[in-house]
Amino acid sequence: MFFVSIVFFYYICAMDEKKIDILERSTGVFLRLGIKSVTMDDLARELGISKKTIYKYFADKNELVSTIIRFKVNEDCNAVAGCKTSTNAIEEMFVVSEFIMEQLKNVTPTVFFDLKKYHPEAWQIMEDHKWNFVRNLIKQNIERGIEEGIYRKNADPLILSGLYVSATDTILNSQIFPWPHYKFQDVYMQMILNHLFGISNTKGREYLKQRLKNEHND
C-alpha cells in the first residue's frame, strides 16, 4: 500500500493546479447531486469554467470519475494511516469510524448506484479498495485487539474482516435502509457497535460500555 501511495503521490504532483482544482470541485458536485444526473455541461456550469477546459484534462466523464475515485481512495488510505497510534484497538476503530461517517454524511445515495451501473471501472477501483485495503485494515485491528487482550481469542481476523466489508455493502443498500429515513452515518454507527461488542471479550466490553457512557455524559 505504501508503494501505491508513493506512485499516486508522484502522479498528483505531475498534475498542474488547474487539473487538481477541477478534480476536487467536481468531487463536491458529484457527491452532492449524483453522477448520472450531472452532465458535462452541468458540471462546467457548476464549476464556472468551459466544457472545453474540462476536456483539456479529461478525455470524457468516465475518465474524470475514475480519476476522482482513485484520488479519494488514496486520500482515505492516507487519512486512516495515523489510526495505528490510537490507545488501543477499540479506539482505533472509533477513529476509523468517525472518519468514514464524516465522509458519508454529505453523499447522496445515488452516487453508489451510479458508479456501479454507469462507471464500472471506477466501481471496481472502490471494490478493490474495500476488499484489499479496508479488509486488511480491519484484519490487523482484530489481531491487535486479540494481542491487547480486549478482543476474543477465538475471533477469526480473516472471517470477521470479510463480514465487516460485506456489511458496509448492506448499509448502502437503499432497499434495506431507504434514505433519508435512515442516515448512512446512523446505520454505520450501529454496525460498528455490533461489530465491536461481538468481537470484544469481557474486558473489551467493559471498556466499550464505559467509553459510551462517558461519551453520552459529555
Q: Please give the pLDDT value at position 2.
A: 38
pLDDT bin (cut points 50, 70, 90) of residue 43 is very high
pLDDT in tens, 191-206: 999 999 999 999 999 9
Q: Please give the pLDDT value at position 5.
A: 43
pLDDT bin (cut points 50, 70, 90) of residue 105 is confident
Domain that holds residue 7: 2-217
Grid coordinates representing 27 are: 468531487
Grid coordinates representing 203 are: 474486558
Question: How many domains does the chain contain in total?
Answer: 1
Q: Please give the pLDDT value at position 18.
A: 86
Tell me the whole-structure pTM to 2 decimals.
0.86
Q: State the CATH number of the domain containing residue 25.
A: 1.10.357.10
What does the mean pLDDT of the chain come to? 88
